[in-house]
Amino acid sequence: DTEVTQTPKHLVMGMTNKKSLKCEQHMGHRAMYWYKQKAKKPPELMFVYSYEKLSINESVPSRFSPECPNSSLLNLHLHALQPEDSALYLCASSQISGTRGIIQYFGAGTRLSVL
């Protein structure tokens, strides 16, 4: 099983709302990632968790708050977003890097629209 499950698939929220994106994997991966992707652009890394601890934050605004409650789950809490935050949000997971690199497995994404 190489599946990463993301919910919801679509989300529409106002600028004053609070919502959360959820990501789940059962491959025993101990690294999990959040990416943001705008149309016709490559995914941009937002956060990396290694062994349930935040290891990389790519200078993401504080209105995005990640959480990794256990080794299988990754959340992204959203609050006071701006219309320019509308994008596809992708979750990925991998083994912790060895000497050569990693293989990342991606979920199908959550399409977020901020009104």
Partner 1 sequence: AQSVTQLGSHVSVSEGALVLLRCNYSSSVPPYLFWYVQYPNQGLQLLLKYTSAATLVKGINGFEAEFKKSETSFHLTKPSAHMSDAAEYFCAVSRPGNQFYFGTGTSLTVIP
Tell me which residues touch partner 1 (CB under 8 A).
6, 31, 33, 40-43, 45, 48, 50, 55-56, 88, 90, 92, 94, 96-109, 111
Spatial separation of the C-alpha atoms in residues 33 and 7, rounded to whole Å: 15
Spatial separation of the C-alpha atoms in residues 57 and 69, rounded to whole Å: 17
Instruction: Name the residue nearer to partner 1 (CB basis): 40 or 84.
Output: 40
Contact between 58 and 44 under an 8 Å Cβ cutoff? The reply is yes
Instruction: Name the residue nearer to partner 1 (CB basis): 48 or 74.
Output: 48
Beta bridge partners of 105: 93
Instruction: Name the residue nearer to partner 1 (CB basis): 26 or 51.
Output: 51
Minimal distance, residue 52 CB to partner 1, in Å? 14
Minimal distance, residue 61 CB to partner 1, in Å? 21
Backbone angles phi, psi at 40, to 5 degrees: 65, 20
